[in-house]
């Protein structure tokens, strides 16, 4: 009986052997596809590696902001306690009130909003005209003009500051907020040449048939631009507006050059004067030296809060617009 049983078992093993090997091979393939994926970019190992890069990069950017927020809500007791690093024992908002006073926040934030809005609107209009001209119109020395535009993008603003100051002084506009807005009216200002290039890239992606149909209908180039092309340029307008607003909001160099002796200045320039104002506050209120850092953190938070809120609400439109303007092609 034992010999017959062994013979039956051997026959069963021979029949089952290929199927068992195939099953093991399929299981191994499933594990390999799970870890590595059928393609290089959809495996578990690749996704974990990608998420690790994203998390580490996000931490580099978010950690200073979190540190700033934690520092500005710490009380004096927590500031001198070495055991308190991330979680304060109680929330204290007095540093925000001190920073509000030091920055003259009500006045400064209104000035910043008005100046940044005007500059952004003027950039959207004037750079749009220039971008359309470079993209669709033919005029003498067009290549030379575009080359000069690229040169203007490369040249640092320090090169043109002195001639601008002399011109504004001759016009009686020194120490005036108007001096921050006038360049944007003519397509210059903070990164104005970049905005022209953004518009140019967008208009070059539009079909030529639109212009041919407009010419048949007898429309001029300006009328065609205002009625057809500018409304179509909504993605480019959003990108230019957000870039111009944020860069104007954060700019400290031009306000320091043009508004050096003025009292009514934008918020970013008030931040550059923070040291002197904070010293006066520390003397008058008789605050200890360790209270200066949280007040600085609170002032920085108040300064970045408005553009941060704008980006949070306009993030979806901004990402979609960047994709549609041709900047990522």
For the cut 60, the answer to whether the pLDDT of residue 28 exceeds it is: no
Asked, for residue 87, whether it belongs to a domain, the answer is no
Q: Rounded to an integer, what distance in angstroms lies between the CA atom of residue 202 and that of residue 134? A: 11
For the cut 50, the answer to whether the pLDDT of residue 189 exceeds it is: yes
Q: Rounded to an integer, what distance in angstroms lies between the CA atom of residue 171 and that of residue 41? A: 61
Q: Rounded to an integer, what distance in angstroms lies between the CA atom of residue 98 and that of residue 287? A: 11
pLDDT at 34 (0 to 100): 53
Instruction: For residues 234 and 126, state if they share a domain.
Output: yes
Q: Rounded to an integer, what distance in angstroms lies between the CA atom of residue 197 and that of residue 161? A: 23
Instruction: For residues 108 and 8, state if they share a domain.
Output: no
Q: Are 188 and 167 in contact (CB under 8 A)?
A: no
pLDDT at 18 (0 to 100): 56
Instruction: For residues 22 and 122, state if they share a domain.
Output: no
Q: Are 166 and 206 in contact (CB under 8 A)?
A: no
For the cut 70, the answer to whether the pLDDT of residue 322 exceeds it is: no
Q: Rounded to an integer, what distance in angstroms lies between the CA atom of residue 65 and that of residue 100? A: 19
Of the candidates 155, 128, 105, the one whose C-alpha atom is nearest the C-alpha of residue 244 is 128
Distances (CA, A) of 64 to 61, 77, 277, 301: 7, 22, 24, 11
Percent of the chain with pLDDT over 70: 83
Q: Rounded to an integer, what distance in angstroms lies between the CA atom of residue 134 and that of residue 275? A: 46
What is the span of the domain harbouring residue 163? 103-272
| Cα R_g (the chain), whole angstroms | 31
More confident residue, 15 or 56: 56
DSSP character for 207? Answer: -
pLDDT at 284 (0 to 100): 78
Q: Which band of pLDDT confidence, cut at 50, 70 and 90, is reported for residue 8?
A: very low
Q: Which band of pLDDT confidence, cut at 50, 70 and 90, is reported for residue 241?
A: very high
Asked, for residue 94, whether it belongs to a domain, the answer is no
Q: Which band of pLDDT confidence, cut at 50, 70 and 90, is reported for residue 110?
A: very high
Using CB atoms within 10 Å of the CB of residue 285, give its burial: 0 to 12 exposed, 13 to 18 middle, 19+ buried: exposed
Q: What is the CATH number of the domain that holds 128?
A: 1.10.3720.10
Asked, for residue 177, whether it belongs to a domain, the answer is yes
Q: How many residues does the chain have?
A: 329
Joined tokens for residue 231: 């409304």
Instruction: For residues 128 and 258, state if they share a domain.
Output: yes
Residue 141 Rama label (left phi>0; alpha psi -120 to 50; beta) = left
Of 239, 254, 272, the position where a domain reaches its end is 272
Using CB atoms within 10 Å of the CB of residue 124, give its burial: 0 to 12 exposed, 13 to 18 middle, 19+ buried: buried
Of 228, 246, 272, the position where a domain reaches its end is 272
| Mean pLDDT within 13-33 | 55
For the cut 60, the answer to whether the pLDDT of residue 201 exceeds it is: yes
Give the model confidence (pLDDT) of 60-85 as tens digits.
888 888 888 988 888 888 888 888 88
pLDDT at 6 (0 to 100): 54
HSE (side-chain half, CA atoms, 13 Å) at 175: 5
Give the model confidence (pLDDT) of 111-120 as tens digits.
999 999 999 9
Of 272, 300, 323, the position where a domain reaches its end is 272
Give the model confidence (pLDDT) of 112-156 as tens digits.
999 999 999 999 999 999 999 998 888 888 899 999 888 888 888
Q: Rounded to an integer, what distance in angstroms lies between the CA atom of residue 158 and that of residue 181? A: 17
Instruction: For the beta carbon of residue 23, count every other beta carbon within 10 angstroms.
Output: 11
What angle is formed at CA 91 by the lines to CA 88 and CA 93, rounded to 5 degrees?
130
Asked, for residue 72, whether it belongs to a domain, the answer is no
Q: Which range has the worst mean pLDDT, 130-144, 198-212, 313-327? A: 313-327
Asked, for residue 57, whether it belongs to a domain, the answer is no
Q: Rounded to an integer, what distance in angstroms lies between the CA atom of residue 258 and that of residue 189? A: 13
Asked, for residue 131, whether it belongs to a domain, the answer is yes
Instruction: For residues 115 and 247, state if they share a domain.
Output: yes
| Mean pLDDT within 302-319 | 83
Of the candidates 288, 286, 282, 259, the one whose C-alpha atom is nearest the C-alpha of residue 272 is 259
Instruction: For residues 247 and 107, state if they share a domain.
Output: yes
Chain-wide mean pLDDT for the chain? 81
Instruction: For residues 241 and 120, state if they share a domain.
Output: yes
Give the model confidence (pLDDT) of 265-305 as tens digits.
899 888 888 877 777 777 777 777 778 888 889 999 999 99
Joined tokens for residue 172: 């009686």
Instruction: For residues 19 and 122, state if they share a domain.
Output: no
Instruction: For residues 26 and 139, state if they share a domain.
Output: no
pLDDT at 12 (0 to 100): 46
Instruction: For residues 135 and 264, state if they share a domain.
Output: yes
Asked, for residue 186, whether it belongs to a domain, the answer is yes
More confident residue, 244 or 311: 244
Asked, for residue 210, whether it belongs to a domain, the answer is yes
pLDDT at 124 (0 to 100): 93
Q: Rounded to an integer, what distance in angstroms lies between the CA atom of residue 119 and that of residue 114? A: 9
pLDDT at 329 (0 to 100): 53
Supply φ then ψ for residue 260, to 5 degrees.
-60, -40
Q: Are 119 and 184 in contact (CB under 8 A)?
A: yes
Instruction: For residues 148 and 14, state if they share a domain.
Output: no
Q: Are 265 and 201 in contact (CB under 8 A)?
A: no
Highest mean pLDDT among 212-226, 238-252, 264-278: 238-252
Number of domains in the chain: 2
Residue 189 makes CB contacts below 8 A (sequence gap 6+) with: 119, 122, 123, 180, 183, 244, 248
């Amino acid at each position: 009986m034992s010999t017959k049983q062994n013979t039956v078992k051997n026959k069963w093993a021979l029949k089952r052997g290929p199927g068992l090997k195939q099953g093991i091979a399929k299981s191994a393939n499933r594990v390999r596809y799970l870890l590595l994926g059928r393609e290089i970019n959809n495996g578990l190992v690749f996704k974990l590696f990608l998420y690790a890069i994203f998390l580490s990069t996000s931490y580099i950017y978010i950690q200073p902001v979190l540190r700033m927020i934690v520092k500005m809500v710490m009380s004096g007791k927590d500031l001198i306690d070495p055991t308190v690093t991330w979680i304060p024992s109680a929330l204290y908002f007095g540093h925000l009130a001190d920073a509000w006073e030091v920055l003259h926040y009500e006045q400064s934030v209104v000035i910043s909003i008005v100046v940044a809005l005007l500059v952004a609107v003027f950039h959207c209009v004037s750079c749009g005209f220039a971008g359309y001209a470079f993209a669709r119109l033919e005029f003498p020395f067009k290549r030379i003009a575009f080359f000069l535009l690229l040169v203007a993008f490369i040249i640092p603003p320090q090169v043109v500051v002195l001639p601008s100051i002399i011109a504004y002084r001759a016009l009686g506009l020194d120490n005036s907020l108007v001096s921050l807005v006038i360049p944007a009216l003519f397509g210059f200002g903070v990164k104005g040449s970049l905005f022209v290039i953004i518009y140019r890239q967008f208009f070059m992606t539009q079909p030529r048939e639109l212009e041919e149909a407009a010419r048949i209908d007898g429309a001029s180039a300006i009328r065609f631009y205002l009625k057809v092309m500018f409304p179509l340029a909504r993605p480019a307008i959003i990108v230019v507006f957000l870039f111009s607003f944020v860069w104007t909001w954060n700019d400290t160099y031009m306000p320091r050059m043009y508004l050096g002796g003025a009292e009514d200045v934008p918020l970013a320039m008030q931040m550059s004067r923070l040291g002197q104002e904070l010293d006066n506050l520390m003397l008058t209120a008789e605050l200890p030296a360790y209270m200066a850092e949280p007040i600085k953190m609170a002032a920085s938070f108040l300064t970045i809060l408005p553009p941060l809120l704008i980006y949070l609400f306009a993030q979806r439109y901004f990402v979609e617009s960047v994709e549609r303007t041709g900047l990522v092609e």
